[in-house]
């Protein structure tokens, strides 16, 4: 899908107008952002917005998130086990210390495995 | 407190507080001349109009008017203030500052990098095929015990070209990354600006409501006092009545172009409005 984010009042207004007029091509709208369908028509609307409002419009292409491909098992397990912990008040750092769970810093430094690199057409 | 004005239409010059013009004078041209000082062939020498003039600068029977906004601006022409004014001024200053910061930063378009990357990828795919083909030819030469020198050279050339292309792609991707990073900082500023603008818009709405509230009684009385007015709800009066009432309440610097027959004379209209007029 195409994630379209607006950064000015006029761009936000244009986005709302497009969402109203082309409901069938809009997957989801949130305030000043929206998800357009990944069709040429969705791209057409996104490009129109960028043409009109220049850098007050950001367009990103999303891809489905498959945690089994993109995320190491240790991270998935840590998430599951932390959410099912016995003591709700325990911070993750303490929960993870002395275990095989990755630390917050380790996870922050590790980029997700990606099927392509930045700028994938 | 009315100031005399000077109107020039072609070779005709009129001067005074009440200027009665022939029916051939185009009222919208007159209004534009008041706003811009000059609107061929008309030029008008008068004070600069205030924002309320946008609403009551040309009063006629076919007009429309946004009552609340017009009334609030009439209040501003009299220098009325509201509890929101200080914060609005602070936000104005902050937004101006952000604009300066944004302008200083400049916008790094990533379009060129995107074009380059997309082209590189297309070419890279073709070059990979070329490498495979060259490899196939070399293999065939070997299988048939033919001279491999030419095939080896062709394969090496294809591999070199592919590797150059890959280097270029990587460099472009890095530049794009860099541009995205810069634009992220820029968007942080824009996001902040948008929040401030939204806040300011809310405060302006509050200010408008407060000004309307302050002038409510005076406005009702003015609507009642408009000659021939039969309005029961002052906020639901015909636009021309509303405009006359707003113009009466406002402290107008610039003249009003008046095209309605509610007054006995142009002088009576000017007295009632307490403002210089151009009567057509």
Q: Both B135 and B172 in a single domain?
A: yes
Query: Which residue range forms the structural domain that includes residue B195?
Result: 103-199
**Chain B residues lying within 8 Å of A116, measured CB to CB:** none
Q: Both B108 and B193 in a single domain?
A: yes
Q: Both B111 and B26 in a single domain?
A: no
Answer whether residue B5 shows pLDDT above 60: yes
Q: Both B23 and B59 in a single domain?
A: yes
- Quick one: pLDDT at residue B70? 97
- Quick one: pLDDT at residue A117? 43
- Domain boundary (B166, B199, B232) is at B199
Q: Residue A94 contacts by C-beta under 8 Å, 6 or more apart in sequence?
A: none
Q: What is the mean pLDDT of residues B38-50?
A: 86
A118 lies within 8 A of chain B by CB: yes
Torsion of CA B177, B181, B182, B184, to 10 degrees: 130
Residue with more model confidence, A24 or B110:
A24
Q: In this structure, is residue B204 part of a structural domain?
A: no
Q: In this structure, is residue B193 part of a structural domain?
A: yes
- Report pLDDT digits (tens) over B195-253: 999 999 999 999 999 999 999 999 999 999 999 888 789 999 999 999 999 999 999 99
**Token pair recorded at residue B243:** 């405009």
- Domain boundary (B173, B199, B225) is at B199
- Report pLDDT digits (tens) over A65-75: 999 989 999 99
Q: In this structure, is residue B94 part of a structural domain?
A: no
Q: In this structure, is residue B76 part of a structural domain?
A: yes
Q: Both B171 and B234 in a single domain?
A: no
- Quick one: pLDDT at residue B2? 58
Q: Residue A50 contacts by C-beta under 8 Å, 6 or more apart in sequence?
A: A57, A59
Q: How far is B154 from chain A (nearest CA, A)?
A: 30
Q: How far is B68 from chain A (nearest CA, A)?
A: 22
H or E element that contains A104: helix A104-109
- Quick one: pLDDT at residue B37? 75
pTM of the model: 0.76
Q: In this structure, is residue B111 part of a structural domain?
A: yes
Q: Both B189 and B228 in a single domain?
A: no
Residue A115, SS3 per DSSP: coil
Residue with tokens 């003249």: B255
Q: In this structure, is residue B89 part of a structural domain?
A: no
Q: In this structure, is residue B87 part of a structural domain?
A: no
- Domain boundary (B199, B232, B262) is at B199
Q: In this structure, is residue B205 part of a structural domain?
A: no
Q: Residue B276 contacts by C-beta under 8 Å, 6 or more apart in sequence?
A: B2, B3, B4, B5, B16, B17, B18, B19, B46, B255, B256, B270
Q: Residue B24's pLDDT band (boundaries 50, 70, 90)?
A: confident
Answer whether residue A17 shows pLDDT above 70: yes
The full 3-state SS of A11-51, as one line of letters, equals HHHHHHHHHHHCHHHEEEEECCEEEECCCHHHHHHHHHHHH
Residue with tokens 């999303």: A62
C-alpha B252/C-alpha B57 separation (Å) is 9
- Quick one: pLDDT at residue B157? 94
- Average pLDDT of the residues of chain B: 91
Q: What is the mean pLDDT of residues A71-94?
A: 95
Q: Residue A56's pLDDT band (boundaries 50, 70, 90)?
A: very high
What is the count of structural domains for chain B?
Answer: 2
């Amino acid at each position: 899908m195409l994630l379209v984010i607006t950064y000015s009042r006029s761009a936000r207004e244009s986005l709302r107008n497009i969402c109203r007029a082309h409901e069938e091509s809009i997957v989801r709208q949130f305030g000043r952002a929206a998800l357009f369908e990944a069709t040429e028509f969705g791209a057409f609307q996104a490009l129109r917005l960028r043409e009109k409002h220049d850098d007050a419009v950001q367009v990103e292409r999303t891809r489905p998130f498959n945690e089994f491909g993109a995320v190491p098992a240790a991270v998935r397990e840590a998430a599951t086990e932390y959410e099912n912990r016995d003591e709700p008040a325990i911070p993750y750092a303490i929960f993870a210390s002395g275990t095989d769970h990755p630390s917050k810093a380790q996870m922050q430094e590790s980029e997700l495995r990606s099927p392509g690199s930045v700028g994938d057409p | 407190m009315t100031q005399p004005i000077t109107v020039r239409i072609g070779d005709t010059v009129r001067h005074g507080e009440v200027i009665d013009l022939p029916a051939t004078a185009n009222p919208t041209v007159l209004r534009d001349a008041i706003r811009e000082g000059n609107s061929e062939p008309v030029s008008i020498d008068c004070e600069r109009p205030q924002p309320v003039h946008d609403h009551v600068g040309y009063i006629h029977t076919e007009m429309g008017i946004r009552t609340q906004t017009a009334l609030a601006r009439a209040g501003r022409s009299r220098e009325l203030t509201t509890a929101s004014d200080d914060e609005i001024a602070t936000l104005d200053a902050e937004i101006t500052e952000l604009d300066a910061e944004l302008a200083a930063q400049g916008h790094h378009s990533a379009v060129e990098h995107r074009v380059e990357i997309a082209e590189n990828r297309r070419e890279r795919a073709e070059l990979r095929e070329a490498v495979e083909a060259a490899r196939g030819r070399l293999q065939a030469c070997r299988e048939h015990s033919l001279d491999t020198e030419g095939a080896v050279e062709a394969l090496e050339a294809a591999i070199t070209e592919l590797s150059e292309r890959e280097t270029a792609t990587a460099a472009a991707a890095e530049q794009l990354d860099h541009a995205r990073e810069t634009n992220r900082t820029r968007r942080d500023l824009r996001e902040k600006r948008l929040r401030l603008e939204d806040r300011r818009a809310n405060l302006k709405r509050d200010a408008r409501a407060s000004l309307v509230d302050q002038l409510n009684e005076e406005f009702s009385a003015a609507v009642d006092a408009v000659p021939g007015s039969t309005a029961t709800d002052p906020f639901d009066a015909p636009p021309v009545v509303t405009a006359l009432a707003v113009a009466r309440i406002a402290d107008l610097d610039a003249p009003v172009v008046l095209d309605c027959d509610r007054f006995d004379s142009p002088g009576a209209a000017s007295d009632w409005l307490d403002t210089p007029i151009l009567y057509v």
